Structure 1
Amino acid sequence: MTESVTPPAIPHHILIVEDHPEVCQTLRADSRIAFPGCHILTAETLQKAQTLCAHSTFDLILLDIGLPDGEGTEVLRKPGVPEQTTVVVTTLFDDDEHLFEALRLGALGYLLKDDTGTDMVEALQGILAGRPPLSPSIAKRILQSFAPKPTQHMLSPREEEVLILISRGYSAREAAQALAVSAHTVADYVKSVYRKLHINNRAEATAEAMRRGLLR
């Protein structure tokens, strides 16, 4: 006789940690479609998120990484959130460093903010079926992590875009406008690009972009 498996409970209390009002509103709408009747609180800073987590228990947390006052993954560090809380990262960062750090700290899902509408709703509803919410590109990246690594560090598509823009002379603010993200987010991408490529300034970034054939 097959033993029945109890499906995960429907999330009734949800915390959305997101500093961009429009993105927060979209995630709120997606959450209400995925889990009708849920109660939602929001936090636009790391400090507010940590305060809410210290005084309330949530079934589900949708967690942005790039917050104005720090890394959203700090929420996952001890004392952090209870084990029964499902934490799903919702972010623009699609690089290995952010992905695997979040999973190592206990995140049970990783969704890119580009996955709006039906894709995001279906990913969230997958929690009820015991499916970890993962964007397709993120699931592929996890699988690729088990493959032999090339000797050269690879940039994510977004990091390549940032490299191209700064190589063309864009300021952080101009790059942020071109990519429709915050200057803070662009600064994080620039740091990641510089670290991966072992470069220290815009001139070296331009030379690297030309070597990779990214500039025409």
Structure 2
Amino acid sequence: MRSDTTIKVALVDDETLVRAGLRLILGGAPDIEVVGEASDGAAGLDLVRRLRPDVVLMDIRMPRTDGLTATRALVAEGSPARVIVLTTFDTDELVLEALRAGAAGFLLKDTPPEKLVEAVQAAAAGHPTLSPSVTAQLIASVARPRDDRADRATARLATLTERERDVAVAIGRGLSNAQIAADLYMSESTVKTHVGRILAKLDAGNRVQVAIMVHDADLA
């Protein structure tokens, strides 16, 4: 039986076995319920609109409508569902575009079961679902700033105060609020305030987008 605190999850992947595996893994968590499945992005969009899940596990490469297009559509619609992109390392560039589009994060399809559950729980709580080390490795390997992107990122970051910029750079390094507080000698509540202002000034949907901007500007 579902309670108000149960995390509703939708699975969007064209591989039946992958969906079955994800459902099996997530079904073992007492606070998670898989409420629906779809085999392509178009069907996934319909599913999310109808069932309004909290989290969507979205494959990248699918027929009809791919996961990247579907993710952009959900973000553009203002859907409250948090999209976690499922991928392998050979689709890094698509993953990066998904993060720029507003996806909450990404997971490799061979993510250990306990980490998959933790990622869904984190996404539902509003936290990025990718580890700092993997984030830095991904961005460093595939997002070397092009001149125009670097200029845009630098210009947007210039709207921040010096202290906000310090916090933004720390976010780009993958630090948590507690780690930023310790590193910059401020309280955790002050860090949260700065993070809120940074997201608003940069028109960023989440910390991942801030991190990407920081890396585009070559600051981390």
State TM-score, norm by structure 2.
0.53
| Aligned-CA RMSD value | 3.0
Contact kept in structure 2, 1:35 and 1:125, CA below 8 Å: no
Question: Are 2:60 and 1:58 aligned?
Answer: no
Question: Are 2:102 and 1:106 aligned?
Answer: yes
Deviation at 1:33, TM superposition (A): 3.0
Deviations 1:143-181 (A, max 9, x none): 5269967xxxxxxxxxxxxxxxxxxxxxxxxxxxxxxxx
Contact kept in structure 1, 2:8 and 2:32, CA below 8 Å: no
1:107 partner SS: coil
The match for 1:132 is: 128
- Which amino acid letter does the alignment assign opposite residue 21 of structure 1? T
Which of residues 7, 10, 30 is equivalent to 2:25? 30
Question: Are 2:65 and 1:97 aligned?
Answer: no
Taking the aligned partners of 2:12 and 2:32, their CA distance within structure 1 comes to: 19
The match for 1:116 is: 112
Taking the aligned partners of 2:105 and 2:134, their CA distance within structure 1 comes to: 10
Contact kept in structure 2, 1:16 and 1:61, CA below 8 Å: yes
Contact kept in structure 2, 1:34 and 1:125, CA below 8 Å: no
2:28 partner SS: helix
Deviation at 1:142, TM superposition (A): 4.2
- Taking only the aligned residue pairs, the percentage that are identical comes to 33
Structure 2: 5+ residue stretches without partners: 146-220
- Which amino acid letter does the alignment assign opposite residue 112 of structure 1? L
- Which amino acid letter does the alignment assign opposite residue 101 of structure 1? E
Which structure has the larger Rg?
Answer: 1
Taking the aligned partners of 1:83 and 1:26, their CA distance within structure 2 comes to: 26
Structure 1: 5+ residue stretches without partners: 1-8, 150-216
Contact kept in structure 1, 2:55 and 2:124, CA below 8 Å: no
Contact kept in structure 2, 1:20 and 1:44, CA below 8 Å: yes
How has the CA–CA distance of structure 1 residues 10 and 104 changed in structure 2, closer, same or farther, with 3 Å as cutoff?
A: farther
Structure 1 moving runs of 4+ over 6 Å: 146-149
- Which amino acid letter does the alignment assign opposite residue 40 of structure 1? V
